[in-house]
Chains A and B, each alone.
Chain A
Amino acid sequence: MIDTLLSVFRISVKAIFANKMRSALTSLGIVIGVAAVITMLAVGSGTQQSMSERFSRFGTNILYLRQPWDLDESISSPKDVTMDDVRAIRRLPGVEAAAPYISSGFEVKYGYTSTSIDVLATDTDIFKTYDWEIEKGREFTEREVDDYAQVAVLGATAAQTIFNDVDAVGKTVIFDNIPFKVVGVMKKNGQGGMGFDMDEGTLIPYTTGKVKMNTGWNKSDRRALDRVIIRVKDFNTIEETKEEIANTVRNTHKIHPLAEDDFQLDDFASFVEEAKAASKTMGILLGVIGAVSLLVGGIGVMNIMLVSVTERTREIGIRMAIGATSADIRLQFLVEAVTLSCFGGLIGVLIGIVATLVVAANSTSIPAQLSIPSIFIAFGFSAATGIFFGYYPAYKASKLTPIDALRYE
């Protein structure tokens, strides 16, 4: 049996290589389909991987307090999130730290260098919420926050961009026409916060930002914050702590017991849900793309196999005359179709792997992670395509009668 299959396979390879160009063009659809599936699955699983890495770097015991972006109309006069909220939250036993958060883009100047930078105005609690570490110099102090000091802690990439290889600590940079003294530079930490990348940005005291910088901040109220970053002490009691925080904020906002919250408190679960939903959508999209290209590729295989059956009618006649049964002929053409599509599948796998490696090597924003099962799945689908679309031509060949096939000119 294996012996027979082997001979049949050898004949198929010969037939495929006899028409190199035709075979190559035919399998192209499958090549593209398989390569696309592998690459995209790799990007998909890489994205998921990097997302979960990012979440774990943030720590799961981080909460965000902010005013909702889509405010319920029933809330007539929502109160801003302010330092009063921050101070109240800090007093809660379950809270480790709570930092104000106001961010905006500014132009930064140093000497002749001018570039744009994300500025996060905050206070010393920020260093207790995120796991950012100082590389050189120091964090800014509570005293500096209270004194409206013009000091800044730069992200690693930002420092590199502005100062090149010069030591940034002690130098003065200009944000929005106001000079700031660089007191520290952060360690590079890879992917940063939600909407704020520490590597590319800078930290300044929120007092300085609110009082001395006129442009860029999106709230006219000097006390308003974009959000509050809260670190809870214990992840296991995060729900209870969340409850306490909500009650505290309702209290400072003086919300009537029956009225809705005028703020929103997010934890990472909601971000994870969103990310999961996004990657599921992406998965469906990939499935559709893969299915469509394999379908088109399969039709190509079927088409060329029908041509091949017609071209080789006489050969079929000879084979039947010397003892091939209908089943032998059917097997022959089926193996040929499967070989052709697997050949495409194999090339597709190689291209997919190379494409994944190229993407992984050249792009930091699109992480790609090759998964072995996805390779087997994609290859398996190419083989299944061959069987599905090769069956009809093979059946047609097997239905020829030897005498008609032999007489065929």
Chain B
Amino acid sequence: MSLIETTNLYKTYVVGDVEVHALQGVSISIERGEFVAVMGPSGSGKSTFMNILGCLDKPTQGKYILDGIDVTATDLSKLAGVRNRKIGFVFQGFNLISRTTAVENVELPMVYNHTPSHLRREKALEALKAVGLEQRAFHMPNQLSGGQQQRVAIARSLVCDAPIIFADEPTGNLDTKMSIEVMDLFTRLNKEMGKTIILITHEPDIAQYAGRLITFRDGQKVSDEVKK
């Protein structure tokens, strides 16, 4: 069984009197261990698609099975646990909690699954080590460079041993050198730890790191190619 399986996803927003059809029948399956890049112009529906895959939003119609869980049949309020256990998020704007040290940011997902505090610290430091930031564990986000902040966010996405990492424009706020660093890290996580990585980007250079490229346009999947 695929890790991610969507069948005919539709998402319709109502803005005032106008209906916006953000997704119009998207069916995709992603296997465990894949590194997928999702591209498309803005308004193509790729962000909506990612939000649904990330269990942050629900489709209007269609079916989504994540690691054997029927997400579409699960109440949105119950999805917090699914996000916690199955998914790690990496955002364009890093989204770290300010005035909170790197290691505490990394510990946060474990606070919500009630990991005992001594284990939390241990695992958080381990995750920071995996992204090469063990020296910066007790720095505040504003004392770290953009690349370092993004690596803290990646460590946070790893810490609950979630099989999937969703990365939404993770290099959008980074310069080229830092972008390469971050993308190399994703590649390593994919190859060495077997993480399934789904990456949204609009930069073809970044998409090159992925093994599979899905393109969206007007709420539909227009191409889906596996790199040889």
Contacts and interface: CB of A to CB of B under 8 A. Distances in A.
A17 to B, nearest CB: 9
A18 B51 CA distance: 31
B41 interface: no
Contacts of A320: 56, 80, 83
**Listed residue (A4, A14, A402) with the most chain B CB atoms within 10 angstroms of its CB:** A402
Interface string A375-409: 00000000000000000000000000111001000
B83 A323 contact: yes
Contacts of A11: 100
B99 A323 contact: no
B154 interface: no
Nearest to B99: A18
Interface string B117-132: 1000000000000000
B51 A403 contact: yes
Given A314-B95, A318-B95, A325-B81, A3 B109 contact: no
Contacts of A314: 95
B83 A326 contact: no
B114 A3 contact: yes
A3 B111 CA distance: 9
Given A322-B89, A323-B80, A315 B97 contact: yes
B56 A321 contact: yes
A113 to B, nearest CB: 69
A355 interface: no
A401 B76 contact: yes
Contacts of B80: 320, 323-326, 328
A259 interface: no
Contacts of B89: 321-322
Interface residues of B, number: 28
Nearest to A323: B84
A125 B114 CA distance: 81
B83 A322 contact: yes
Contacts of B108: 319, 322
A6 interface: yes
B113 interface: yes
Nearest to A317: B95
B56 A406 contact: yes
B97 A321 contact: no
Interface in A279-336: 314-315, 317-326, 328
A7 interface: yes
A197 to B, nearest CB: 62
B57 interface: yes
A319 B117 CA distance: 18
A323 B97 contact: no
Given A4-B111, A18-B99, A321-B56, A326 B156 contact: no
Nearest to B77: A326
Nearest to B112: A323
A313 to B, nearest CB: 12
Given A3-B116, A3-B117, A322 B81 contact: no
Given A323-B109, A324-B80, A326-B77, A4 B114 contact: yes
A403 B56 contact: yes
Contacts of B156: 322
A398 to B, nearest CB: 9
A402 B112 contact: no
Contacts of A402: 56-57, 83
Nearest to A320: B80
B59 interface: no
B100 to A, nearest CB: 7
Contacts of B56: 320-321, 401-403, 406
B160 interface: yes
Interface in B75-107: 76-77, 80-81, 83-85, 89, 91, 95-97, 99-100
B54 interface: yes
B74 to A, nearest CB: 13
Interface string A1-43: 1011011100100100010000000000000000000000000
Nearest to A328: B112
Contacts of A3: 114, 116-117
A323 B113 contact: yes
A310 to B, nearest CB: 16
B132 to A, nearest CB: 21
A18 B100 CA distance: 11
Nearest to A326: B77
A287 B111 CA distance: 41
A162 B109 CA distance: 80
A7 to B, nearest CB: 5
Interface of A: 1, 3-4, 6-8, 11, 14, 18, 314-315, 317-326, 328, 401-403, 406
21 contacts: A3-B116, A4-B111, A6-B117, A7-B117, A14-B99, A18-B99, A315-B97, A317-B95, A319-B97, A321-B89, A322-B112, A323-B112, A323-B113, A324-B80, A401-B57, A401-B76, A402-B56, A402-B57, A402-B83, A403-B51, A403-B57
Closest 9 CB pairs of A and B: A323-B84, A323-B112, A325-B80, A322-B109, A403-B56, A402-B56, A403-B57, A318-B95, A7-B111
Given A322-B83, A325-B112, 19 more contacts: A3-B117, A4-B111, A7-B111, A14-B100, A317-B95, A318-B96, A318-B97, A320-B56, A320-B80, A321-B89, A321-B95, A322-B89, A322-B112, A322-B156, A323-B81, A326-B80, A328-B112, A401-B76, A406-B95
